[in-house]
Copies of this chain bind each other. A is one copy, B any other.
């Protein structure tokens, strides 16, 4: 019982909604814009305050601390993920549509990848997605805990594939990176492993974007095949 108490915006009672002054929504919206534009390191309470032409510390009236603000912003990302209705397209198609949607959304908000390992996804939008995913896997024929396990497996795959992708993107400077430079860097790092060097010189390695999409597809069908197999047993 020595650990810190568990806290989260989603647990605390929010302040009563009022009309005057700034609103939490406005603040969160501005925070998301700032995060999209400058990344997780680019968001500071002071800069966000300035952007809203408020004093540096006014935000603390609406939000307990920066972590809670990030929880709020994080949940907005979940709002952008779409889960198709499995009654209309079949669970496999729903599942892959969701997987692609999750990937696109996280790539669009790279800072969110950093939060996956830091904040539990307890917000209403994250819960909404989880709820619809449960329905999807139930419709597929999963029962009991297997519903959650299938859910976790698919989510893990998508995030696990996408998170390191973001590491690459940001390391290369997000845009206009030099393919040759990257290849040289990797070649140098792999110098002791002839097997890996060979890989780097393989066809397709100079279009990493296309390569990553093929890779994602390969893994996704593997995961879905594996899940389908669970249903047969």
Q: Which residues of A contact B (CB under 8 A)?
A: 1-6, 8, 10-11, 113-114, 116-124, 127-128, 130-131, 134-135, 144-150, 152-153, 155-161, 163-164, 166-168, 170-178, 181-182, 185-186, 188-190, 192-193, 195-196, 199, 202, 204, 211, 214-215, 218-219, 221-227, 229-230
Contact = CB atoms under 8 A, between A and B. Distances in A.
In the complex this chain forms, how many copies of it are found? 2
A117 B226 contact: no
Given A11-B185, A157-B160, A160-B163, 19 more contacts: A2-B176, A3-B173, A5-B181, A113-B117, A121-B164, A127-B196, A131-B193, A134-B195, A134-B199, A145-B215, A148-B199, A153-B157, A156-B156, A156-B159, A160-B161, A222-B227, A222-B230, A225-B229, A226-B227
B117 A117 contact: yes
Nearest to A159: B160
Contacts of A161: 152-153, 156, 160
A195 B6 contact: no
A188 B215 CA distance: 38
